[in-house]
Amino acid sequence: MPGNRPAHEHRPPPGPGTDQPGCAGALARQALHGGARPWELAARASRVSVLREAALPYMHDLHHATRQHVQLAVADGDQALLVEKISGLGAIPTVGRAGGRLPLHASGVGKAILAHSSPAVQDRIVTGALVRYTPKTLTSPDALRTALAEVRRVGHATCDEELTLGAVSCAAPVFGPRSAMVAAVSVVGPASSGALHEMAAAVRTIAHGISRALHAMPASRPVGGMSPLSHLLVGGALR
């Protein structure tokens, strides 16, 4: 069972990117403080639960094979929201926890999500403020567009010390019903390992397994008149 050890790819920027103690707790606080309507938050929590149920067995397999941090993220506005993580005692020290957010342009899961987002979302991020986290962060719109095209071509995204020096990650998109992108799964490890290529095949295999598990899940347990799996299609991501 995942513990509370850190499994984030970076120290998040101040403001909206600040870590939260957990997705369920964060959603509950939003309801109490008058953010989104309670039924919307309950529906979203249910969608995250469906995704986690499908993903966790595969994430554990990936963690067992790599002994590194394994993360699951979904689109959340202009960021990637980390909804699950598994860490190991021997994994590279990182900062963050489930409920934290990652930039779409400078993280493995972020690039995997952004590459399969709508053209409007891609344009907004690529032409927006591309914060430089390290000397390796992609801050050129042209360079980022090229990187996103490569993600779509090869089926996975890499982050080579673009968010935190000393840490690399590899991520692949997860597709739900009707082939809509709903999440991304990643491995985060030390830059010195030189294992990005080895990570790629494993991460793509795990992402494919999660996608198949989502397709195989019955469209039941309706929430707000729609099943959790139907809700996965809203906006092409878990919203």
Q: Please state the rounded mean pLDDT for residues 209-221.
A: 81
- Using alpha carbons, select from 206, 181, 212 the residue that is nearest to residue 74: 181
| Rounded Cα gap, residues 170 and 230, in angstroms | 28
pLDDT at 228 over 50: no
> What pLDDT does residue 193 have?
62
| Rounded Cα gap, residues 123 and 138, in angstroms | 15
> What pLDDT does residue 35 have?
46
Confidence band for 207, pLDDT divided at 50, 70 and 90: very high
pLDDT at 71 over 50: yes
> What pLDDT does residue 42 have?
52
pLDDT at 52 over 80: yes
> What pLDDT does residue 18 have?
38
Decide which of 4 and 44 is more confident.
44
Q: What is the pLDDT of residues 96-147, one digit of tens each?
A: 567 889 999 999 999 999 999 999 999 999 999 999 999 999 999 999 999 9
Decide which of 112 and 26 is more confident.
112
The two tokens of residue 137 are 């962060």
pLDDT at 192 over 80: no
23 and 73 in contact (C-beta within 8 Å)?
no
pLDDT at 230 over 50: no
* Highest-pLDDT range among 34-43, 127-136, 213-222, 227-236: 127-136
CB atoms within 10 A of CB 63: 21
pLDDT averaged over the chain? 78
| Rounded Cα gap, residues 239 and 148, in angstroms | 22
Confidence band for 95, pLDDT divided at 50, 70 and 90: low
pLDDT at 227 over 90: no
pTM (predicted TM-score): 0.76
**First and final CA of the chain: distance in angstroms?**
26
**CA angle 115–2–38, rounded 5-degree value:** 65
